[in-house]
Homo-oligomer: A and B are copies of this chain.
Amino acid sequence: MARPPRKAASRRRKGDVAADEAVYGAIRRAMHMGRLSPGAKLQEPVLARVLKVSRERVRKALHRLVHEGWLTAVPNRGTFVPALSVEEMRNIYDVRSMLEEGIVRRLSREASSIVAQRLRAHITEERAATRSGDRGRLFALSGEFHILLAELCGNDELSKLLRGLLTRSTMHFSLAAPERLHNCAGPHEHGDIVAAILDGKGERASKLMLSHLRGLVALQSARPPAKAVSLEEAFRGISAAR
């Protein structure tokens, strides 16, 4: 016979796959909002108490974040927010350059009407966000532009890879300059790239994208001195309830 239940069916949900995602998202949000300074230590008991979940769930989320490159783990020491050197950052943008150069080249070669429509719609949204001064929206749109380009290639591997690189890039913007309006130099640069793509000018689009990315690297030079705050403060208003 089957083992008799002891605690008589606790009210916990069945799948609970959403709980992992919630914890993961909460930590990710805190980083994206610039609440965690580079070098900060993410203690499991504290996070478990703040997010109202078990320590094992926090551990799992931290492991995932470490594996994705968001955090750095030191054995028997803990998990930390990485303080990326300028060289690491430059490397990320180098890889992005290679991929995104290929992306705009391909899109310039074979841009369908659907692609053109989605690109133009995105630029329109960016301009609207700029006019209305919606900082958060523009920040998100600026990043999504690069994701959109990758997705329009129809290659899932490509999208996934670039998404990882981009999140790590934009994280540094959040950490370095949360007060900045947007992570990309301006919507008009995106507009120029789109125009070149839709004109079939692959070379020009490629060059514009490369200089655009170079501009982003330059923006990262000045980094504020990163004030340290407690985890309780960092996660104020952020929960795993979602």
Which residues of A does B touch, CB under 8 Å? 15, 17, 60, 63-64, 67-68, 75-76, 88, 91-92, 94-95, 97-99, 101-103, 155-158, 161, 165
Contacts and interface: CB of A to CB of B under 8 A. Distances in A.
Contact of A92 (B67, B91, B99, B157): B157
Contact of A157 (B17, B76, B91, B101): B91
Contact of A95 (B64, B76, B101, B155): B155
B67 A158 contact: no
30 contacts: A15-B75, A15-B76, A17-B75, A60-B63, A63-B63, A64-B67, A67-B67, A67-B68, A88-B156, A88-B157, A91-B156, A91-B157, A91-B158, A92-B157, A94-B155, A94-B157, A94-B158, A95-B99, A95-B157, A97-B102, A98-B98, A98-B99, A98-B102, A98-B103, A98-B158, A99-B99, A101-B102, A102-B102, A157-B165, A161-B161
Nearest to A150: B95
* Main secondary structure on A side of the interface with B: helix
A63 B15 CA distance: 17
Copies of this chain, complex-wide, total 2
Nearest to A15: B75
Which interface residue of A75, A92, A97, A157 has the most chain B CB atoms within 10 A? A157
B75 A155 contact: no
Contacts of A101: 98, 102
A64 to B, nearest CB: 7
Which interface residue of A68, A75, A97, A161 has the most chain B CB atoms within 10 A? A161
Nearest to A98: B102
Contacts of A94: 155, 157-158
Contacts of A155: 91, 94-95
Contacts of A97: 102
Contacts of A158: 91, 94-95, 98
A122 B204 CA distance: 37
A95 B160 CA distance: 11
Contacts of A98: 98-99, 101-103, 158
